[in-house]
Structure 1
Amino acid sequence: MNDGYDSYRAIDLDTQVSCASPYQLVLVLFDGLLDELSRARGHIETRHYDLKGQSLEKCMNIINALNSTLDHEQGGELVISLSRLYDYCLHRLVEVSASLSISGIDEVMHLLEQIREGWEGVNVARS
Protein backbone atom coordinates (compact mmCIF):
# COMPACT_ATOMS: atom_id res chain seq x y z
CA MET A 1 0.00 0.00 0.00
CA ASN A 2 2.83 2.43 0.84
CA ASP A 3 4.93 1.16 -2.09
CA GLY A 4 3.15 3.43 -4.57
CA TYR A 5 3.53 6.46 -2.34
CA ASP A 6 7.19 5.66 -1.65
CA SER A 7 7.83 5.31 -5.40
CA TYR A 8 6.13 8.64 -6.04
CA ARG A 9 8.22 10.32 -3.32
CA ALA A 10 11.43 8.85 -4.78
CA ILE A 11 10.60 10.16 -8.26
CA ASP A 12 9.63 13.55 -6.84
CA LEU A 13 12.89 13.72 -4.87
CA ASP A 14 14.94 12.74 -7.94
CA THR A 15 13.25 15.54 -9.89
CA GLN A 16 13.88 18.10 -7.14
CA VAL A 17 17.54 17.13 -6.81
CA SER A 18 18.25 17.14 -10.55
CA CYS A 19 16.96 20.71 -10.92
CA ALA A 20 18.24 22.18 -7.65
CA SER A 21 20.90 24.76 -6.88
CA PRO A 22 23.23 24.02 -3.94
CA TYR A 23 21.00 26.15 -1.69
CA GLN A 24 17.89 24.32 -2.86
CA LEU A 25 19.63 20.98 -2.19
CA VAL A 26 20.12 22.03 1.43
CA LEU A 27 16.40 22.84 1.62
CA VAL A 28 15.57 19.41 0.17
CA LEU A 29 17.74 17.82 2.87
CA PHE A 30 16.01 19.86 5.57
CA ASP A 31 12.59 18.92 4.25
CA GLY A 32 13.53 15.24 4.28
CA LEU A 33 15.01 15.59 7.75
CA LEU A 34 11.91 17.27 9.16
CA ASP A 35 9.66 14.67 7.52
CA GLU A 36 11.72 11.86 9.03
CA LEU A 37 11.71 13.48 12.46
CA SER A 38 7.94 13.64 12.25
CA ARG A 39 7.88 9.94 11.34
CA ALA A 40 10.18 9.12 14.28
CA ARG A 41 7.82 11.03 16.57
CA GLY A 42 4.90 9.00 15.26
CA HIS A 43 6.81 5.76 15.72
CA ILE A 44 7.45 6.62 19.37
CA GLU A 45 3.79 7.50 19.90
CA THR A 46 2.64 4.23 18.32
CA ARG A 47 5.37 2.20 20.07
CA HIS A 48 6.98 1.03 16.84
CA TYR A 49 10.44 1.20 18.36
CA ASP A 50 12.24 -0.67 15.59
CA LEU A 51 10.94 1.89 13.07
CA LYS A 52 11.79 4.71 15.50
CA GLY A 53 15.39 3.53 15.48
CA GLN A 54 15.51 3.45 11.68
CA SER A 55 14.00 6.94 11.43
CA LEU A 56 16.36 8.42 14.01
CA GLU A 57 19.33 6.85 12.24
CA LYS A 58 18.24 8.49 8.97
CA CYS A 59 17.87 11.81 10.78
CA MET A 60 21.35 11.57 12.28
CA ASN A 61 22.82 10.69 8.89
CA ILE A 62 21.19 13.76 7.31
CA ILE A 63 22.40 16.03 10.13
CA ASN A 64 25.92 14.62 9.73
CA ALA A 65 25.71 15.28 5.98
CA LEU A 66 24.60 18.87 6.58
CA ASN A 67 27.37 19.35 9.12
CA SER A 68 30.02 17.88 6.81
CA THR A 69 29.20 20.35 4.04
CA LEU A 70 29.86 23.42 6.18
CA ASP A 71 32.81 25.50 4.97
CA HIS A 72 34.84 25.97 8.14
CA GLU A 73 37.54 27.95 6.33
CA GLN A 74 35.21 30.60 4.87
CA GLY A 75 32.22 30.50 7.23
CA GLY A 76 33.65 32.04 10.36
CA GLU A 77 31.67 32.22 13.58
CA LEU A 78 28.36 31.44 11.86
CA VAL A 79 29.63 28.06 10.66
CA ILE A 80 31.10 27.27 14.07
CA SER A 81 27.75 28.05 15.73
CA LEU A 82 25.82 26.06 13.15
CA SER A 83 28.15 23.08 13.59
CA ARG A 84 27.65 23.24 17.36
CA LEU A 85 23.91 23.34 16.88
CA TYR A 86 24.02 20.29 14.60
CA ASP A 87 26.12 18.48 17.23
CA TYR A 88 23.58 19.43 19.90
CA CYS A 89 20.73 18.08 17.73
CA LEU A 90 22.63 14.81 17.26
CA HIS A 91 23.17 14.55 21.01
CA ARG A 92 19.48 15.18 21.68
CA LEU A 93 18.45 12.52 19.15
CA VAL A 94 20.67 9.97 20.87
CA GLU A 95 18.93 10.90 24.13
CA VAL A 96 15.52 10.63 22.43
CA SER A 97 16.37 7.18 21.17
CA ALA A 98 17.01 5.99 24.71
CA SER A 99 14.37 8.00 26.58
CA LEU A 100 11.61 8.00 23.92
CA SER A 101 11.11 11.70 24.67
CA ILE A 102 8.55 13.36 22.41
CA SER A 103 9.59 16.75 23.80
CA GLY A 104 13.18 16.02 22.74
CA ILE A 105 12.09 15.42 19.14
CA ASP A 106 9.92 18.54 19.27
CA GLU A 107 12.91 20.57 20.47
CA VAL A 108 15.13 19.30 17.65
CA MET A 109 12.39 19.89 15.08
CA HIS A 110 11.92 23.46 16.30
CA LEU A 111 15.65 24.19 16.08
CA LEU A 112 15.96 22.67 12.62
CA GLU A 113 12.85 24.48 11.35
CA GLN A 114 14.52 27.76 12.33
CA ILE A 115 17.71 26.82 10.50
CA ARG A 116 15.67 25.77 7.47
CA GLU A 117 13.93 29.16 7.45
CA GLY A 118 17.34 30.81 7.42
CA TRP A 119 18.43 28.70 4.43
CA GLU A 120 15.17 29.52 2.69
CA GLY A 121 15.93 33.21 3.17
CA VAL A 122 19.41 32.73 1.67
CA ASN A 123 17.89 30.84 -1.27
CA VAL A 124 15.34 33.60 -1.94
CA ALA A 125 18.01 36.31 -1.66
CA ARG A 126 20.20 34.51 -4.20
CA SER A 127 17.35 34.03 -6.69
Structure 2
Amino acid sequence: MFDADSGFDVYQHTQTDARAAQASPRELVLMLMDGLLDEIARAEGHMLGGRLEEKGRSIAKAIDIIGGLDSALDLKQGGALAENLHQLYDYCGRQLFSASVNNEPAHLAPVIRVLEDLRVGWLGLGSEAEA
Protein backbone atom coordinates (compact mmCIF):
# COMPACT_ATOMS: atom_id res chain seq x y z
CA MET A 1 0.00 0.00 0.00
CA PHE A 2 2.73 2.48 0.98
CA ASP A 3 6.37 2.65 -0.02
CA ALA A 4 8.61 1.51 2.80
CA ASP A 5 10.63 4.70 2.34
CA SER A 6 7.65 7.01 2.55
CA GLY A 7 6.81 7.78 6.15
CA PHE A 8 5.18 10.95 4.89
CA ASP A 9 2.64 8.90 2.91
CA VAL A 10 1.69 6.97 6.05
CA TYR A 11 1.40 10.21 8.03
CA GLN A 12 -0.70 11.86 5.32
CA HIS A 13 -3.02 8.83 5.11
CA THR A 14 -3.45 8.83 8.89
CA GLN A 15 -4.22 12.55 8.90
CA THR A 16 -6.81 12.08 6.14
CA ASP A 17 -8.45 9.24 8.06
CA ALA A 18 -8.63 11.39 11.19
CA ARG A 19 -10.16 14.32 9.29
CA ALA A 20 -12.71 12.05 7.62
CA ALA A 21 -13.76 10.52 10.95
CA GLN A 22 -14.68 13.97 12.29
CA ALA A 23 -16.09 15.47 9.09
CA SER A 24 -19.69 16.35 8.31
CA PRO A 25 -21.21 14.89 5.13
CA ARG A 26 -20.55 18.22 3.35
CA GLU A 27 -16.92 18.21 4.50
CA LEU A 28 -16.54 14.61 3.30
CA VAL A 29 -17.80 15.57 -0.15
CA LEU A 30 -15.35 18.48 -0.24
CA MET A 31 -12.50 16.18 0.81
CA LEU A 32 -13.44 13.75 -1.97
CA MET A 33 -13.67 16.60 -4.49
CA ASP A 34 -10.23 17.86 -3.46
CA GLY A 35 -8.76 14.37 -3.72
CA LEU A 36 -10.45 13.85 -7.07
CA LEU A 37 -9.10 17.10 -8.50
CA ASP A 38 -5.61 16.25 -7.19
CA GLU A 39 -5.78 12.79 -8.79
CA ILE A 40 -6.89 14.24 -12.13
CA ALA A 41 -3.95 16.67 -12.00
CA ARG A 42 -1.63 13.70 -11.36
CA ALA A 43 -3.18 11.81 -14.28
CA GLU A 44 -2.58 14.80 -16.54
CA GLY A 45 1.05 14.97 -15.43
CA HIS A 46 1.47 11.26 -16.11
CA MET A 47 -0.08 11.67 -19.57
CA LEU A 48 2.23 14.55 -20.41
CA GLY A 49 5.21 12.62 -19.03
CA GLY A 50 4.37 9.47 -20.99
CA ARG A 51 3.94 7.40 -17.81
CA LEU A 52 1.07 5.24 -19.04
CA GLU A 53 0.90 2.80 -16.13
CA GLU A 54 0.78 5.60 -13.56
CA LYS A 55 -1.79 7.44 -15.70
CA GLY A 56 -3.98 4.36 -15.69
CA ARG A 57 -3.79 4.08 -11.90
CA SER A 58 -4.63 7.76 -11.44
CA ILE A 59 -7.58 7.62 -13.83
CA ALA A 60 -8.86 4.46 -12.14
CA LYS A 61 -8.61 6.11 -8.74
CA ALA A 62 -10.42 9.21 -10.02
CA ILE A 63 -13.20 7.07 -11.51
CA ASP A 64 -13.47 5.20 -8.19
CA ILE A 65 -13.89 8.49 -6.31
CA ILE A 66 -16.59 9.58 -8.75
CA GLY A 67 -18.28 6.22 -8.23
CA GLY A 68 -18.20 6.79 -4.49
CA LEU A 69 -19.75 10.23 -4.83
CA ASP A 70 -22.39 8.85 -7.18
CA SER A 71 -23.25 5.87 -4.96
CA ALA A 72 -23.90 8.22 -2.04
CA LEU A 73 -26.72 9.93 -3.94
CA ASP A 74 -30.27 9.14 -2.87
CA LEU A 75 -32.03 9.25 -6.23
CA LYS A 76 -35.46 8.59 -4.70
CA GLN A 77 -35.41 11.34 -2.09
CA GLY A 78 -32.92 13.66 -3.78
CA GLY A 79 -35.20 14.45 -6.69
CA ALA A 80 -33.93 16.46 -9.63
CA LEU A 81 -30.79 17.60 -7.82
CA ALA A 82 -29.64 14.03 -7.18
CA GLU A 83 -30.49 13.04 -10.75
CA ASN A 84 -28.54 16.00 -12.14
CA LEU A 85 -25.53 15.14 -9.97
CA HIS A 86 -25.79 11.52 -11.11
CA GLN A 87 -25.71 12.65 -14.74
CA LEU A 88 -22.74 14.94 -14.10
CA TYR A 89 -20.82 12.16 -12.35
CA ASP A 90 -21.62 9.80 -15.22
CA TYR A 91 -20.38 12.36 -17.73
CA CYS A 92 -17.18 12.91 -15.73
CA GLY A 93 -16.51 9.17 -15.51
CA ARG A 94 -17.01 8.69 -19.25
CA GLN A 95 -14.82 11.69 -20.02
CA LEU A 96 -12.03 10.39 -17.77
CA PHE A 97 -12.24 7.00 -19.46
CA SER A 98 -12.01 8.68 -22.87
CA ALA A 99 -9.04 10.76 -21.75
CA SER A 100 -7.28 7.62 -20.61
CA VAL A 101 -8.05 5.49 -23.66
CA ASN A 102 -7.02 8.25 -26.04
CA ASN A 103 -4.19 9.46 -23.80
CA GLU A 104 -5.58 12.95 -24.34
CA PRO A 105 -5.05 15.48 -21.52
CA ALA A 106 -7.45 17.94 -23.21
CA HIS A 107 -10.32 15.58 -22.35
CA LEU A 108 -9.65 16.27 -18.66
CA ALA A 109 -10.40 20.01 -18.88
CA PRO A 110 -14.22 19.72 -19.01
CA VAL A 111 -14.17 17.33 -16.07
CA ILE A 112 -12.06 19.74 -14.05
CA ARG A 113 -14.46 22.60 -14.85
CA VAL A 114 -17.51 20.56 -13.79
CA LEU A 115 -15.88 19.41 -10.57
CA GLU A 116 -14.61 22.87 -9.68
CA ASP A 117 -18.12 24.27 -10.22
CA LEU A 118 -19.60 21.53 -8.03
CA ARG A 119 -16.97 22.21 -5.37
CA VAL A 120 -17.86 25.90 -5.33
CA GLY A 121 -21.51 24.92 -4.90
CA TRP A 122 -20.68 22.69 -1.93
CA LEU A 123 -18.59 25.47 -0.39
CA GLY A 124 -21.53 27.83 -0.84
CA LEU A 125 -23.81 25.45 1.01
CA GLY A 126 -21.57 25.81 4.03
CA SER A 127 -21.67 29.60 4.05
CA GLU A 128 -25.46 29.58 3.60
CA ALA A 129 -25.86 27.19 6.54
CA GLU A 130 -23.66 29.39 8.72
CA ALA A 131 -25.60 32.57 7.82
TM-score (norm 1): 0.92
Residues 50-102 of structure 1 show CA distances to partners (whole Å, capped at 9, x for unaligned) of 00000000000000110011111221111111111110111111111111111
Aligned residue type for 1:15:
A
Say whether residues 1:82 and 2:81 are aligned partners: no
Aligned residue type for 1:98:
V
Instruction: Note the C-alpha offset of 1:28.
Output: 0.7
Higher RCO (C-alpha 8 Å, min separation 6):
1
Runs (5+) with no aligned partner, structure 2? none
The aligned residue for residue 125 of structure 1 is 128
Residues 92-126 of structure 1 show CA distances to partners (whole Å, capped at 9, x for unaligned) of 11111111111111211111111111111113323
TM-score (norm 2): 0.90
Say whether residues 1:96 and 2:96 are aligned partners: no
Runs (5+) with no aligned partner, structure 1? none
Instruction: State how 1:2-13 maps to structure 2 within 5 Å.
Output: 3-13=6-16
Choose which of 69, 73, 82 in structure 2 pairs with 1:70: 73
Runs of 4+ that moved beyond 3 A: none
Three-state SS of the structure 2 residue aligned to 1:64 is helix
Aligned length: 127
